[in-house]
Structures are given as structure tokens and as C-alpha cells.
Chains A and B, each alone.
Chain A
Amino acid sequence: MPESSKTVRQINFHIARYNPETDRAPYVKTYTIPVREGMTVLDGLHYIKDNLDASLAWRYSCRMGVCGSCGMMLNGHPTLACNTQILHIATTDLTVSPLPNFDIIRDLVPDLLTMFDKHRSLKPYIERADEAEINDPQGEFYQSPKELEAYLQFTYCIKCGCCMAACPTLATDARYLGPMPLAAAQRYNQDTRDDGRRDRNQLSGSAHGAFRCHYAGECSRACPKGVDPAKAIQILKRQLVLDYLHLSRRKKPCQKLHGPGQGKPLPNIPAAPAKTV
């Protein structure tokens, strides 16, 4: 901690510790650290590791709410440690524990593999018949701003697992696909460039798919990026039912704009300068 920074308060960090090689069950260890304004929980964990207990383990990378590595339970709420200031959520005590609904690798490190396996199984990528164009693009697919907005918010997901930790269905049904993978499926289903919805429906409409969602809405409340996975799942349910009843219109994926310069330029946009090279 820089010398110029002013300590505001002493905060007790009650941290869940667990080493599967030596411990039978997780236990809580308390560390008291000096906290200054603006200090994040991630900073606090670094302080503990640097000054009090070097054996503490957690996962982090970007420190700016982008990578989704440092998801953990802070005072019982799943969120990002790097994005949460200590003094915003604690006055004297702060409990820190790993994300529930996952196995624990060590201390605050959850095993996110189950989430990523479910995510991968739902084919979270553009699926089209013209595979050659996907592998070797020769142009751009046309998509209007309105079509983009239909799924844009779901692209903000950083796969931190906070929604999975908050989900009450996942707490009892480990085979439930969960909010993150289902929202990702819906994100690609709504993408007008994609043609893989019926393929994804096989899994998202399965016994442990979208219909197991009780719409508790905790996933959307927990999301540190403001994504609304609960909404995505409800849209997914509606689309599944419409597909089953053959009531949804079969739309072809959007077409490619062949070659540069074939798009219609917006008015009042000056022409590109002449090439100099």
C-alpha cells in the first residue's frame, strides 16, 4: 500500500479457507487489514497475501471487471472482487467465500469447468451452412442496428460464474445448464447471422435445460455486467415452444454484402480520402 494513502478503517476479512489435500472441510480464517478509501476487495486479498498469509489462493487477472476471473461471494453476494470497494459493503466485517454451486479447487478458487462444459455443449458460436465463408470470409454479413440490439446485452457476459452461483435451481440440480450457458445460447439464437437455433434447441429444450428455470431472477441481480440472463431464458423458453408448435417463422440467416463499397453509405458522411500507398 502506498505510504501516501490514508487508512480509514480496520476491517476483519472472514475468509473461507480450504485445501482439499489437507483439510476435511472448508473453515473460516479471520484477517484484520487496514483499509483506505477506494480499496477493492481484490486489493484487500493482495494485502493479506503480501503481509499476513502467503498461502491464500484466489483467481484474478485483469483487475478491472473485464476478465471475469475473480468472482466470489462477498458478504453472501456473488460478485467480482476487483469491482467491489471494501468500504461500500463493509463497516467492520467482510465475509469472503468461493462461489457456491461449484467444486472448490482451493480457498477462493472455484472449479468453473462444469460451467464451461455446459457452455460449450450449447454451441456458443455462429453456425451456418456456408462454412467456407465462416472459415475464409470474403465479405461482411449485413445486420441492422436493431437486429444487433436484440442480443447485444447478452454479449457483455464475461463468464465469471456469478449468475451460476446465485441460481437456486442449480443449487439442487447440478445437471441444470444454468443461466450463463442458456443466455449464451439465446445470444446466438437471436443473432441474425446464425442458423443454428434448431440445433441448440435439442439441448436447451432438454430435461435439464431452459424449462427448469423458475425465474427467480437472482442471476440477473447478481450479474456484475448488467446482463439479464433471466430474460434470455424466458425468451428462449418462448422460442422453444413456438418452434415446437411450428409457429415461428423460418428465417434464412442474413446475407453477405459482396465486396467492399457495396453497402449504401449513410448521408453526410464524407468520402474516404484517396489512397496514398
Chain B
Amino acid sequence: MRETKYWTWHMAAGVVILFLLGLHMLIMHVGGITHLFVPYGGEAVSKSNSLFRDGKLFFTVTYILFLGVALYHGLYGLRTILFELTLKPAAEKAITFVFLVVGLGLFGLGTWAAVVTHAIAIAGARG
């Protein structure tokens, strides 16, 4: 049943990614129409607009969540592809372990970046 657990979370992560990607598209790619979270006008990727969003706790949490679900969904998908190559059980265990370490490492790095950016944005807003 362990694989059922992994699969269920893989599917759930896919749904969350779909929702977060929709949010990303609304803000970053059709911002000229929606004007969502673009308080300073112009490009959504401009420094002032980016710092505005980075200073919001909602976005920091969203970045970390997005990173987590994307890493899990992607690495589980890659693991599935590799498992279909008829590997030996020891190789399957090694792949699972490596992906777990790589995933946690990247998640830690990304979380650290999001938190630091949040702190910089808040410090910048305070002057």
C-alpha cells in the first residue's frame, strides 16, 4: 500500500500544481489584463512589483508550497519512469533514496531562498 500512498499524493500534488500554475499565469502572464498583485503598474516581473509580492506572507507560503508539490510530483514521475526499466530491487531502493535526498535538499534550498527574499522585501519596505 506504500505505492498507493505515493500515488495518491502524486495526484493531489498535480491538482495543487494546476491551481498554482493558474495563479502564476494570472499574475505573471496576463497581468496586463487582470492587474493582480501588480500595484506599481508596468511589468509583473519589475523589481518593485516583485518585492511587493515577496513581502507578502501569502506569496512566500505559496512559493514554498509550489516548490514542494512540484518537486514531489516531478521526482515521483521520474522515479516511475526509471522503475519501468525493470531495475533490480536494490537499484529501485537506491533511486528512491537519492531522489528523497535530492528532493529534500532542493526543497530546503528553495525554502531558504523564499524566506530570505521575504525578509529582504520586508526590510526594504521599512526603509
Contacts and interface: CB of A to CB of B under 8 A. Distances in A.
Chain B interface category by residue count: 10 to 19
Which size bracket describes the interface of A in this complex? Answer: 20 to 34
A79 interface: no
A202 B1 contact: yes
A208 interface: yes
Given A207-B92, A209-B3, A241 B84 contact: no
B3 A211 contact: yes
Interface string A152-174: 00000000000000000100111
A173 B5 CA distance: 21
Nearest to A206: B3
A141 interface: no
B80 A240 contact: no
A27 interface: no
A174 B86 contact: yes
A186 to B, nearest CB: 15
Interface string B1-30: 111110110010000000000000000000
Contacts, number: 47
A241 B85 contact: no
Contacts of A212: 80, 83-84
B3 A241 contact: no
A173 B1 contact: no
A209 B4 CA distance: 9
Interface string A239-250: 011011100000
A264 B2 CA distance: 45
A224 B11 CA distance: 33
Contacts of A207: 3, 83, 92
A205 interface: yes
Nearest to A237: B7
B83 A211 contact: no
A205 B1 contact: yes
Nearest to B5: A244
A201 B83 contact: no
A250 B50 CA distance: 51
Contacts of A209: 3
A231 B62 CA distance: 37
Interface string B90-105: 0010000000000000
Contacts of B2: 206
Nearest to A169: B84
Nearest to B79: A207
Interface of B: 1-5, 7-8, 11, 80, 83-86, 92
Interface of A: 169, 172-176, 201-202, 205-209, 211-212, 237, 240-241, 243-245
What are the nearest 3 A-B pairs in CB distance?
A: A205-B4, A173-B84, A211-B7
